[in-house]
Structure 1
């Protein structure tokens, strides 16, 4: 029975590339049984394939090459391998948690984009409308003396910092909350807080950061949507306010403003779809 195999045969039999075998040889992870001194050809013994399977297994469970080199050394015992696998299991579990957060973030963003498409359709009609909005958990930061036209980006950045510290991300969904009143112009509007949506049940350390975890209440909302600019902002607010007043609609007297990007190019002029929402009692 054949015992020695060339690098090409070894690669083919073990479903691994020749380049990888050469690299393993270079860094001392898996070396050929012998090298022909005349032509430099590498040859592997069939008994080595078992140990190559160990390396492939360790790679499959996301073990760094540096750790693999340490594990396959002659000093590694079954006891040490068991300890390492316990450690690696913890690494994989943390990675699974990270991927699950990424999946949840992706789903939230997809749902938001679906909602944005619906809002754009309403915007084209140019009318006040009523729609049902599901409740959402939000992370909220107090914003004293912040006008909707002021630079509220630093407050949004504070929200992002808190989420990123726990390995989460802001999902491009920012909002403002302020009182529903008969303002004379948009310069009289001051926001109570800014917020972003977060996953239900999330645990965030917010002590001393002037933030709260709250909920965006489920219910029927009177809404109007538009492509936001400083010049048209107040006219849309007035249109919504007068509609509510003229129809005698009872509300919780809060405006929830959301802004969603129409473009993703940071060098272009800001282009946001904005919706004002006021919940009916």
Structure 2
């Protein structure tokens, strides 16, 4: 068996670039067993393959170089402790990736729903089935269709970002279904956003997790306009009264953006959804 391996042979046998081996030598992470003083050629022994495998493993699981140096110089107990912490870190990364996948799937579903909504004839009352939705909602009593609810959305975003999650740009408002004289009389009970799972942190008193029921809804969609809002609301309410439809007594207002750039004027399609009692 050969006593020494050149840096080129070490590179080929261990599937690692020569430049990487030189860099590891430079930072004192993995040094050759012998350096020829006449030509500075690096030589390694077969016993060093084992230690290089450890470095490759640590690199594979995302260990920083400085951390690698400490681990290699430590004992098995320290290595075990490190791997235990690394496992927790990886599990958290997996959880975030799974959450990201769920967010993508949910957003795709919302966009598909939005595309269907855009194909509907606006200003016409219709029925459709909506699946159960989990929401995070914040109480409010001084916001109506003529106001901007963004400050309340930021409250929800703060909670979700502390969780390491993101606020959905699909948000809505809830208010009682009843007779109003004009839209200025409509005040939202809550502003909400969709969530995948219940936050694990303590919530402020004005923020709660809730569920919007699955089932058939009676709806109307229109291009967002505070001036025309009352007209569409009244049309929906009158249809419910004439048809003697039994509802849960709440309006779920959802607004979906038609563009995603701040350089364009705001353009939303709004849908008013009312759950029909079974």
Q: Same fold (TM over 0.5)?
A: yes
1:28 is matched with: 28
Residues 136 and 197 of structure 1 are in contact (CA less than 8 Å); yes or no, is this contact kept in structure 2? yes
Distance 1:109 1:241 in 2: 30
Residues 55-88 of structure 1, C-alpha deviations (whole Å, 9 max, x = no match)? 1111222222221110112xx1222222222222
Provide the rounded CA distance (Å) in 1 between the counterparts of 2:217 and 2:15. 59
Task: Tell me the CA shift for residue 19 of structure 1.
Answer: 3.3
Residues 78-102 of structure 1: per-residue CA shift (max 9 Å, x gap): 2222222222222222222222222
Secondary structure of the structure 1 residue equivalent to 2:47: helix
TM-score, normalised by the number of residues in structure 1: 0.89
| Aligned equivalent of 2:276, options 273, 277, 280 | 280
Change (3 A) 1:149 1:5: farther
Structure 1 window deviating more from structure 2 (52-61 vs 1-10): it is: 1-10
Q: How far 1:183 sits from its partner (Å)?
A: 2.6
Q: Hey, what does 1:43 align to over in structure 2?
A: 43
Quick one: which of 234, 243, 249 aligns to 2:245? 249
Deviates more, 1:196-205 or 1:85-94: 196-205
The question of 1:137 aligning with 2:134 is answered yes
Q: In the TM superposition, what whole-angstrom CA distance separates every residue of 1:127-180 from its partner, at most 9, and x where no partner exists?
A: 211011111121111111101221210100001111111222212221101122
The CA deviation string for residues 233-264 of structure 1, in whole angstroms up to 9 with x for no partner, is 33322332232223222222211011222222
Aligned pair 1:159/2:121, yes or no?
Answer: no
Aligned residues: 277
Query: What residue number does 1:211 align with?
Result: 207
Which residue, out of 191, 194, 198, partners 1:197?
A: 194
Q: Does 1:232 align with 2:228?
A: yes
Shift of 1:192: 0.8
Cα distance in 1, alignment partners of residues 230 and 40 from structure 2: 79
CA distance, structure 2, for counterparts of residue 275 and residue 240 of structure 1: 11
Q: Give me the TM-score of the superposition, normalised by structure 2.
A: 0.89
Give the Å deviation of 1:11.
2.5
User: Does structure 1 residue 67 correspond to structure 2 residue 72?
Assistant: no
Alignment correspondent of 1:55: 55
Cα separation, partners in 2 of 1:39 and 1:212, compared to 1, 3 Å: same
1:98 corresponds in structure 2 to: 96
Q: Using the TM superposition, name which of 190-199 and 60-69 deviates more.
A: 60-69
Which residue does 1:121 correspond to in 2? Answer: 119
In structure 1, the partner of 2:86 is: 88
Quick one: distance in 1 between partners of 2:274 and 2:172?
13
Query: Equivalents in 1 of 2:62, 2:53: separation in Å?
Result: 14
CA distance, structure 1, for counterparts of residue 263 and residue 36 of structure 2:
60
Q: CA deviation at 1:271?
A: 2.1
Please list the CA deviations of residues 15-49 of structure 1 after superposition, one character each: whole Å capped at 9, or x if unmatched. 22333323322322112334445554443333322
